[in-house]
């Protein structure tokens, strides 16, 4: 499971960074979203990967899953969602105001 | 428990919601509510400051959960001073804004209050993840404030600023996650204890996490090479927003100081003094780049923005020297530069509004309507920024230089700080002579410009009054910042106070859950 989890994280981060560097707003927003997913998975994994354990104190439980990363991820998801929505609206606005979708507000030289 | 500690977070939050819900239709009501809230925040900040004057550390356990299980707010000298600075700058910025800048778009005052909530929360919290949450609150409010009023330049600057900070947030979570994965705690006081006991096998991972956090804080503080978002952002924000943003880079510096003196400070075992090889050279380079940017600036606004970067360089140089005197000097300089840069942003707006089409461009244009008033204020600001006697910039730089005297990099620190001061002086003289002396004779045009509104001049004068007060009362202020530095470098009382928060006996009711973190 560790291998699967780690490689999924790696793929997400790679794709996220690649899209971020595309310098067009729509890929950048997608890249930020992928990076956000990767980060959420990462925080989750920091509570250690275990299967079928209780997160709250219960009778007869021999071991527990760490509940704090789950709470942290929840918060990070909420904030990430709000930020994605904001940056999406901002990109649309930039596209209308500036007439193109480059993050610098003007297309690079030779690519009009 | 002293409930006033949570007031700087709760009051702006409630005021923001009240403005949103209760006063949407009337700008007048919004202004009154906003001014009332900011004035009350100032009162509370002064009260909290007086509480820490004797050096006590007070802890506020949210939901009465004991540390390290719950989130705590901690009031010590450092956080009290940061909250007071925020409240002072916010008050002056608001005084300026009510003269008309807030009418260019909707919900200015609500956003302003949410920004204050994020700032005060970031300064007060004693929990690393909670710091992230307050960072996000202040950031999302700042995104909206930056774009307030609209326009192509703002949208273009906002796009950079927002995307850059979103990547920063992702890195913040990676850093926090790594540190949590190794130490199993996020409470700063608990971390300070646990980090010292980390076995060598895990130290590398922990230090990577800590250095990822340094990258994030450097983004907020605008430390080279992560400072290039700042000039465009600050110079395209409206004047009162830019003045408030003068405190925003200080959030990054505050976080650097808090995390790397307390958690990864001298007592952190393997991870001790983690930032030492990085911080000083980068800080001095930041100072040089900021000053060169100011010299090369073609507009007053971008010049002011580069001066923000230069001030960050000076402060972090002092922080990186790491002794008590230099930390004390860093915080004296921080207060000074926050006030004076806020004043500069407001003043530039006043000047630009009286120069017709030339606005704030540094080129020969017609004279301003009130050359004596604006020129006088500009002279005061220039003297303070360049660090000439008698104003507080001089005292701050002398304190930094004196604290560097006995340290190995003294030669570098002296030459960089003195050299950049000279360059700053040149930049300010060039700007001042261009704007006030090299003017064309356009009497009719000048007569058509309305003189600056009294309220706006008052706001600038208030900020400069603070600078003068810091000069006149330099003795007590320096005594306080030095005591603050002592408290920072000896965090045992902070740690003990936080960790000794006991569970409140649940006599009458079961404690409610704290909700999601």
Task: Kindly state the percentage of chain B with pLDDT values over 90.
Answer: 37
Domain-embedded: residue B269? no
Q: Is residue B78 part of a domain?
A: no
B292-345 confidence digits (pLDDT tens): 999 998 888 899 999 999 999 999 999 988 888 889 999 999 999 999 999 999
How many Cβ atoms are within 10 Å of B286's Cβ, its own excluded?
27
Contacts of B478 (CB under 8 A, 6+ apart): B328, B332, B395, B399
Per residue in B241-281, pLDDT tens? 999 998 988 999 999 999 888 888 777 677 777 777 888 89
pLDDT for residue B120 is more than 90: yes
* Best of B137, B170, B206 to mutate (most A CBs within 10 Å, chain A): B170
* B479 domain residue, yes or no: yes
Q: Is residue B403 part of a domain?
A: yes
- Which residues 155-214 in chain B show a CB within 8 A of chain A? 155-156, 158-160, 162-163, 166-167, 169-170, 173-174, 176-178, 180-181, 186
Question: Is residue B484 domain-resident?
Answer: yes
Q: Is A85 part of the contact surface with chain B (CB cutoff 8 Å)?
A: no
pTM here is 0.91
Residues of the domain holding B459 = 276-493
pLDDT digits (tens, 9 = 90+) for B128-167: 999 999 999 999 999 988 888 777 888 888 888 999 999 9
* Angle in degrees, CA B253, B300, B95, rounded to 5: 70
CA distances from A9 to A4, A6, A14, A38, B454 (A): 9, 5, 8, 5, 58
- The residue ranges of every structural domain in chain A are 2-50+64-98
Rounded to 5 degrees, φ, ψ at A63 are -145, 160
A76 touches B: beta carbon within 8 Å: yes
- Evaluate whether residue B338 is within a structural domain: yes
In terms of residues, how long is chain A? 112
Task: Say which of B163, B169, B170 has its CB closest to residue A103.
Answer: B163
Q: Does the residue B73 lie in any domain? A: no
The span from the CA of B211 to the CA of B175, in Å, is 8
Whether the pLDDT of residue A104 is over 70: the answer is: yes
Task: Give chain B's radius of gyration (CA, Å).
Answer: 22
Q: Does A73 touch chain B (CB under 8 A)?
A: no
CB contact under 8 A, B155 and A98: yes
Instruction: Tell me whether residues A97 and B173 touch, CB distance under 8 A.
Output: no
Q: How far, in Å, are B26, B158, B477 from residue B144 at the CA level?
A: 20, 9, 35
pLDDT in the model for residue B516? 43
Number of domains in chain B: 1
**Position B420 confidence tier, pLDDT thresholds 50, 70, 90:** very high
Residues B173-214 have pLDDT tens digits of: 999 999 998 888 888 888 888 888 888 888 888 888 989 999
Note whether B162 contacts A39, CB cutoff 8 Å: no
Q: What is the pLDDT of residue A111?
A: 60
Give the C-alpha distances (Å, rounded to integers) separating B343 from B173, B360, B474. 35, 15, 19
Q: Is the peptide bond before B14 cis (omega within 30 degrees of 0)?
A: no
pLDDT tens track for B22-77: 877 788 888 888 889 999 999 999 999 988 888 888 888 888 888 788 888 999 89
The model's pLDDT over A7-47, given as tens digits with 9 standing for 90+, comes to 999 999 999 999 999 888 889 999 999 999 999 999 988 88
Neighbouring CB atoms inside 10 A of B296's CB total: 11
Residue B174 lies in a domain: no
């Amino acid at each position: 499971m560790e291998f699967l989890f780690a490689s999924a994280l790696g793929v997400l981060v790679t794709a996220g960074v690649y899209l971020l560097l595309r310098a067009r707003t729509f890929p950048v927003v997608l890249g930020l979203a992928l990076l956000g997913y990767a980060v959420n998975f990462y925080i989750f994994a920091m509570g250690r990967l275990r299967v079928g354990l209780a997160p709250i104190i219960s009778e007869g439980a021999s071991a527990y899953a760490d509940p704090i990363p789950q709470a942290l991820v929840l918060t990070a998801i909420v904030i990430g969602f709000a930020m994605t929505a904001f940056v999406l609206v901002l990109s649309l606005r930039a596209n209308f105001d500036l007439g193109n979708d480059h993050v610098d507000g003007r297309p690079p030289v030779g690519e009009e | 428990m002293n409930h006033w500690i949570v007031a700087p977070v709760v009051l702006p939050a409630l005021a923001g919601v009240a403005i949103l819900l209760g006063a949407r239709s009337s700008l007048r009501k919004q202004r009154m509510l906003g001014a009332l809230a900011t004035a009350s925040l100032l009162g509370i900040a002064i009260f909290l400051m007086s509480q820490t004057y004797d050096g006590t550390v007070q802890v506020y356990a949210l939901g009465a959960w004991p540390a390290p299980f719950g989130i705590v707010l901690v009031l010590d000298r450092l956080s009290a001073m940061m909250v007071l600075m925020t409240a002072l700058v916010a008050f002056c910025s608001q005084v300026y804004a009510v003269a008309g800048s807030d009418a260019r778009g909707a919900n200015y005052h609500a956003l302003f209050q949410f920004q204050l909530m994020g700032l005060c929360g970031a300064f007060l919290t004693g929990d690393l993840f909670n710091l992230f949450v307050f960072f996000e609150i202040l950031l999302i409010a700042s995104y909206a404030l930056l774009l307030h009023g609209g326009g192509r330049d703002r949208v273009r600057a906002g796009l950079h600023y927002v995307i850059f900070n979103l990547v920063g947030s992702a890195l913040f979570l990676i850093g926090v996650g790594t540190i949590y994965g190794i130490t199993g705690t996020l409470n700063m006081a608990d971390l300070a204890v646990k980090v010292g006991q980390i076995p060598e096998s895990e130290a590398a991972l922990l230090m990577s996490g800590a250095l990822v956090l340094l990258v994030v804080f450097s983004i907020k503080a605008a430390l080279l090479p992560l400072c290039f978002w700042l000039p465009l952002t600050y110079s395209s924000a409206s004047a009162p927003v830019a003045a408030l943003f003068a405190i925003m880079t200080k959030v990054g510096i505050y976080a650097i100081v808090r995390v790397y003196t307390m958690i990864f400070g001298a007592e952190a075992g393997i991870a001790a003094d983690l930032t030492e090889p990085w911080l000083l050279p980068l800080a001095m380079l930041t100072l040089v780049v900021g000053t060169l940017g100011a010299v090369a600036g073609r507009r007053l606004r971008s010049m002011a923005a580069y001066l923000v970067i230069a001030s960050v360089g000076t402060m972090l140089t002092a922080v990186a020297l790491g002794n008590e005197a230099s930390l004390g000097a860093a915080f004296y300089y921080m207060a000074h530069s926050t006030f004076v840069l806020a004043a500069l942003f407001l003043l530039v707006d006043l000047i630009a509004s009286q120069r017709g089409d030339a606005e704030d461009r540094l080129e020969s244009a017609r004279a301003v309507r009130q050359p004596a008033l604006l020129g006088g204020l500009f002279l005061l600001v220039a003297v303070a920024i360049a660090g000439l006697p008698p104003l507080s910039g001089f005292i701050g730089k002398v304190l930094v230089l004196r604290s560097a005297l006995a340290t190995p990099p003294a030669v570098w620190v002296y030459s960089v700080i003195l050299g950049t001061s000279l360059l700053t002086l040149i930049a300010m003289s060039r700007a001042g002579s261009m704007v006030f002396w090299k003017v064309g004779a356009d009497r009719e045009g000048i007569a058509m410009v309305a003189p600056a509104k009294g309220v706006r001049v008052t706001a600038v004068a208030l900020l400069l009054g603070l600078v003068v007060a810091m000069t006149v009362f330099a003795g007590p202020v320096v005594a306080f910042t030095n005591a603050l530095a002592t408290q920072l470098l000896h965090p045992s009382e902070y740690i003990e106070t936080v960790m000794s928060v006991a569970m409140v006996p649940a006599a009458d009711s079961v404690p409610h859950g704290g909700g999601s973190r």
